[in-house]
Structure 1
Amino acid sequence: MSAPPVLPTLAQALPVWARVAALSFGGPAGQIAVMHRILVEERRWISEARFLHALNFCTLLPGPEAQQLATYIGWLMHGTRGGLVAGGLFVLPGVVAIMALSWIYALYGNVGFVAGLFFGLKAAVLAIVAEAVLRIGRRALKGPVMVALAAAAFVAIFVLDVPFPLIVLAAGLVGYLGGRAGLSQFRGAGHGGGAKADAGPYLIGDAILPQERPAHGQALRMLALWGALWLVPVALVLLALGTDDVFSHIAVFFSKMAMVTFGGAYAVLSYVAQQAVEHYGWLKPGEMLDGLGMAETTPGPLIMVTQFVGFMAAFRNPGALPPLAAGTLGGLLTTWVTFAPCFLWIFAGAPYVERLRGNRALAGALSAITASVVGVILNLAVWFALHTIFAETRVVALGPLRLDLPVPSSLDPAALLLALAALVAVFGLRLGTVPVLAGAALAGLALRLAGLA
Structure 2
Amino acid sequence: MGTSQDGETNIQNKTVSYSLRQMILYFFKLGTIGFGGPVALTGYMYRDLVEKRGWISESDYKDGLALAQLAPGPLAAQLAIYLGYVHYRIIGATLVAISFVAPSFLMVIALGWAYVHFGGLTWMQAVFYAVGASVIGIIAFSAYKLTVKTIGKDWLLWTIFLVAGLVTVLTETENVMLFLGAGILYWIVKSPPKGLWRKTNKFHSFIPLPFTLFLTSVQGNESGVLTDIFIFFLKAGAFVFGSGLAIVPFLYGGVVKEYEWLNAQQFLDAVAVAMITPGPVVITTGFIGYLVSGFSGATVAALATFLPCYLLTILPAPLFKKYGKVPGINAFVNGVTAAATGAISGAVIVLGKRSIIDLPTALFAIITLGILWKIKKVSEPIIILASAIIGLIIYPMTH
Same fold (TM over 0.5): yes
Of 97, 117, 136, 1:107 maps to 117
Of 315, 324, 346, 1:348 maps to 315
Of 23, 31, 46, 1:36 maps to 46
Aligned-residue sequence identity (percent) comes to 25
Q: CA deviation at 1:263?
A: 5.0
Secondary structure, aligned partner of 1:159? helix
Can you list the C-alpha shifts for 1:355-396, whole angstroms capped at 9, x where unaligned?
Answer: 224322222223332222221110121222111113xxxxxx
What amino acid is the match of 1:117? V
Decide whether the 8 Å contact of 2:256 with 2:262 is kept in 1. yes
What amino acid is the match of 1:305? T
Can you list the C-alpha shifts for 1:49-96, whole angstroms capped at 9, x where unaligned?
Answer: 543442332234333222111101110121111101221111001111
Q: CA deviation at 1:348?
A: 1.9
Decide whether the 8 Å contact of 1:62 with 1:264 is kept in 2. no
2: CA distance, partners of 1:16 / 1:386 = 41
Q: Which residue of structure 2 lines up, in the alignment, with residue 8 of structure 1?
A: 18
Q: Aligned runs of 1:356-367 on 2, under 5 Å? A: 356-367=323-334
Q: CA deviation at 1:122?
A: 0.8
2: CA distance, partners of 1:244 / 1:16 = 39
Q: CA deviation at 1:2?
A: 10
Gaps of 5+ in 1: 183-215, 224-230, 315-326, 391-411
Q: CA deviation at 1:133?
A: 0.9
What amino acid is the match of 1:249? D
Q: Which residue of structure 2 lines up, in the alignment, with residue 200 of structure 1?
A: none
Q: Are 2:88 and 1:78 aligned?
A: yes
Q: CA deviation at 1:160?
A: 6.0
Can you list the C-alpha shifts for 1:297-327, whole angstroms capped at 9, x where unaligned?
Answer: 111211111111111122xxxxxxxxxxxx1
Q: Which residue of structure 2 lines up, in the alignment, with residue 310 of structure 1?
A: 289
Q: Which residue of structure 2 lines up, in the alignment, with residue 323 of structure 1?
A: none
Secondary structure, aligned partner of 2:40? helix
Of 227, 231, 251, 1:248 maps to 227
2: CA distance, partners of 1:433 / 1:370 = 23
Q: Which residue of structure 2 lines up, in the alignment, with residue 321 of structure 1?
A: none
Secondary structure, aligned partner of 1:8? coil
Of 402, 407, 417, 2:363 maps to 417
2: CA distance, partners of 1:167 / 1:63 = 18
Q: Are 2:95 and 1:148 aligned?
A: no
Q: Which residue of structure 2 lines up, in the alignment, with residue 448 of structure 1?
A: 395
Distance 1:70 1:179, change over 3 A: farther
1: CA distance, partners of 2:116 / 2:81 = 32
Q: Which residue of structure 2 lines up, in the alignment, with residue 59 of structure 1?
A: 69
Q: Which residue of structure 1 lines up, in the alignment, with residue 267 of structure 2?
A: 288
2: CA distance, partners of 1:417 / 1:268 = 26
2: CA distance, partners of 1:358 / 1:255 = 27
Distance 1:129 1:356, change over 3 A: same
Can you list the C-alpha shifts for 1:98-119, whole angstroms capped at 9, x where unaligned?
Answer: 0000000000012111111111
Q: CA deviation at 1:162?
A: 7.9
TM-score w.r.t. length of structure 1: 0.73
Distance 1:31 1:418, change over 3 A: same
User: Once structures 1 and 2 are overlaid, which stretch shifts more, 338-347 or 75-84?
Assistant: 338-347
Q: Which residue of structure 2 lines up, in the alignment, with residue 173 of structure 1?
A: 184
Distance 1:23 1:35, change over 3 A: farther
Secondary structure, aligned partner of 1:142? coil
2: CA distance, partners of 1:357 / 1:50 = 13
Q: Which residue of structure 1 lines up, in the alignment, with residue 197 of structure 2?
A: none
Shift >6 Å, 4+ stretches:
1-5
User: Once structures 1 and 2 are overlaid, which stretch shifts more, 125-134 or 254-263?
Assistant: 254-263
Decide whether the 8 Å contact of 2:104 with 2:277 is kept in 1. yes
Decide whether the 8 Å contact of 2:289 with 2:298 is kept in 1. yes
Give the number of aligned pairs.
367
Distance 1:436 1:375, change over 3 A: same
Q: CA deviation at 1:427?
A: 1.6
Distance 1:443 1:274, change over 3 A: same
Can you list the C-alpha shifts for 1:8-29, whole angstroms capped at 9, x where unaligned?
Answer: 1212323322232223223223
Decide whether the 8 Å contact of 1:156 with 1:167 is kept in 2. no
Of 423, 428, 434, 2:381 maps to 434
Q: CA deviation at 1:354?
A: 2.8
1: CA distance, partners of 2:161 / 2:30 = 32
1: CA distance, partners of 2:173 / 2:278 = 33
Q: Aligned runs of 1:196-215 on 2, under 5 Å? A: none
Q: Are 2:334 and 1:388 aligned?
A: no
Higher helix share: 2
Distance 1:2 1:298, change over 3 A: closer
What amino acid is the match of 1:428? K
2: CA distance, partners of 1:262 / 1:181 = 22
What amino acid is the match of 2:367? A
2: CA distance, partners of 1:49 / 1:139 = 23
2: CA distance, partners of 1:112 / 1:331 = 26
Distance 1:20 1:354, change over 3 A: farther
Distance 1:57 1:296, change over 3 A: same
1: CA distance, partners of 2:19 / 2:183 = 38
Secondary structure, aligned partner of 2:313? helix
Secondary structure, aligned partner of 2:18? coil
Computed over aligned residues only, the root mean square deviation of the Cα atoms, in angstroms, reads 3.0
Secondary structure, aligned partner of 2:222? coil
Q: CA deviation at 1:178?
A: 4.3
Distance 1:160 1:367, change over 3 A: same
